[in-house]
Amino acid sequence: MNTGLVLDLVLVLVLLWVGWAALWSRDLFRGIVLFIAFGMVLALVWIRLGAPDVGLAEAAIGAGLTGALLLATWGALPPGSGTPDGEDEPEEDSGQEAGETATGGSDAG
Amino acid sequence: MRADRWHRHLLRLVLGLALLAVAAGVSLALMTAPVAPGLGDAIHGALPGAAAANPVTAVLLDFRGYDTLLEMAVLTAALAGVWSLGRAHRTRPTNPSPVLIGLTRVIAPLFPMICGYLLWVGADGPGGAFQAGAVLATAAVLYVLSERRPGPRLPEQPMRAGAVAGLGVFLAVALGVMAGGGRFLEYPAPLGSGLLLLIETAAAVGIALILAGLFIGGRPGGGDG
Amino acid sequence: MDNGLLFAAGGLGVFLIGAWAVVLRAHLIRKILALNLMSSGAFLLLVGAGAIGHAGVDPVPQAMVITGIVVSISATALGLAIVLRIAKTTGRALLPEDRERTPTDRPLR
């Protein structure tokens, strides 16, 4: 049982766990962020498989740009458009764009 | 309500059984199928005559160039789909944090450099047009996120032209090599790596503009049409 | 590279997690996340299965996966644009059958 195989096993377990958590988290925002993390771990897996080109593509496109798309769409959803389970409740002001700070917009001029 | 709950349990049961069957089938195939020789040796053997030294780039743009051409078409079609649904809604005036503005000003100039590097080194090592285009698209996304009023400053016509240029240049080269007597996408041997660089550069710019266009979520521009 | 079987199994697991969630989760963005997970699982299965029993890397599955990642983000972007239209037009990011099942006047659980 060499260290490479142990690392690979840990990577696969983390991948499965983060994938499950991304889809079954109560909060959709958390799910999207976990999906970005899933993409990052998957990029590591591609490196372990000897596919650095795929790893670059996954990190940039699969995790980065897809994550940006998802977050921007989530933020643009009208409030109250989630399921009654409480999924996806965007912040109260539905006009919040992805560039605002978490404290609700800075007052810098 | 009782029927509804029964339906849900039945759905879960059927889905579970179907997925179990898939899992069993694939596991069986993985463990009992004979080890295939794979195409690695064949590709490495044909690599000296290819247009690039990186085997993945050679497969993407030389041996299976047709697939990559169609992939550029898929990207362009997706952009057409998203832009036909409405105007860009991620370019409305926002109030970005000064941290974001400062960070963008510092690191955004690095992205074109990284893009050029990935494009150039992709012929010999890990890298390539798609990765370079994605990095450039990230710079565009950062720009849109960090500007107070990104909408009016978006260059609409250059974006449209550049987005189509990726597919256009690829198609032009694919058809152009037929003029010298070759077949569709058959690069003449001495021009191979030069044509590849041309295609990759246009593809990277096209991919960057398409991905940025997908991010802004609709047609740019403040006026009509 | 004898980690091929391990990663192929991991890819299968990720695919199954995605397939389970795409049917059973109601929110449309959650479904899109699940579809992305299914794609990533299939890619991992493809490259992992190609690495079983080989010492060298096979570049053909890697090229196919890079193509797949780009097609995946195209489909995700178009899907998200459609989801946003659905949410803005009908007020909820749900399929019609889920919309009937979850009336807005039902109290949260």
pLDDT of residue A101: 40
Instruction: Express as a percent the part of chain A with pLDDT over 70.
Output: 73
DSSP string, C39-95: HHHHHHHHHHHHTTT-SS--HHHHHHHHHHHHHHHHHHHHHHHHHHHHHHHHSSSS-
Distance from CA of C98 to the nearest CA of B (A): 12
pLDDT of residue C96: 83
Dihedral angle, C-alpha A93, A95, A100, A105, nearest 10 °:
-50
How many separate domains does chain A show? Answer: 1
The residue of chain B with its CA nearest to that of A68 is B215
pLDDT confidence bin for C102, thresholds 50/70/90: low
**Chain C residues whose beta carbon lies within 8 Å of the beta carbon of residue B43:** 58-60
Distance from CA of B126 to the nearest CA of C (A): 12
Sign of CA dihedral B212, B213, B218, B220: positive
pLDDT of residue C103: 57
Please name the member of B89, B131, B141 whose beta carbon is closest to the beta carbon of A68: B141
Stated pTM of the model: 0.89
Question: Does residue A91 sit in helix, strand or coil?
Answer: coil
**What are the residue ranges spanned by the domains of chain C?**
4-101
pLDDT of residue A84: 56
**Chain A residues whose beta carbon lies within 8 Å of the beta carbon of residue C42:** none
Distance from CA of A44 to the nearest CA of B (A): 15
pLDDT at A93 over 60: no
Which residues constitute the domain of residue A37? 27-74
Task: Check A76 against B89: CB less than 8 A apart.
Answer: yes
**What are the residue ranges spanned by the domains of chain B?**
52-216
What ipTM is given for this predicted complex?
Answer: 0.90
pLDDT of residue B213: 93
Q: 38-77 in C: which are within 8 Å (CB) of A?
A: 40, 43-44, 47-48, 51, 57, 62, 65-66, 69-70, 72-73, 76-77
Higher pLDDT, residue C58 or C72 = C72
Residue A90 CA, distance from chain mean position: 16
pLDDT of residue B224: 36
pLDDT tens digits, one per residue of C8-27: 999 999 999 999 999 999 89
pLDDT tens digits, one per residue of A8-51: 999 999 999 999 999 999 889 999 999 999 999 999 999 999 99
**Chain C residues whose beta carbon lies within 8 Å of the beta carbon of residue B36:** 50
Residue A59 lies in a domain: yes
Residue A57 lies in a domain: yes
Task: Output the CATH code of domain C4-101.
Answer: 1.10.287.3510
Residue whose C-alpha is closest to residue B215's, from B207, B204, B225: B207
pLDDT per position in chain B (225 positions), as tens?
566 778 888 999 999 999 999 999 999 998 888 887 888 888 888 888 888 889 999 999 988 999 999 999 999 999 999 999 988 887 777 888 999 999 999 998 999 999 999 999 998 889 999 999 999 999 999 988 888 877 777 788 888 898 899 899 999 999 888 887 778 888 887 888 888 899 999 999 999 999 999 999 888 875 433
The DSSP bridge partners found for residue B87 are B219
Residue A87 lies in a domain: no
Q: 38-67 in B: which are within 8 Å (CB) of C?
A: 38-41, 43-44, 55-56, 58-60, 64, 67
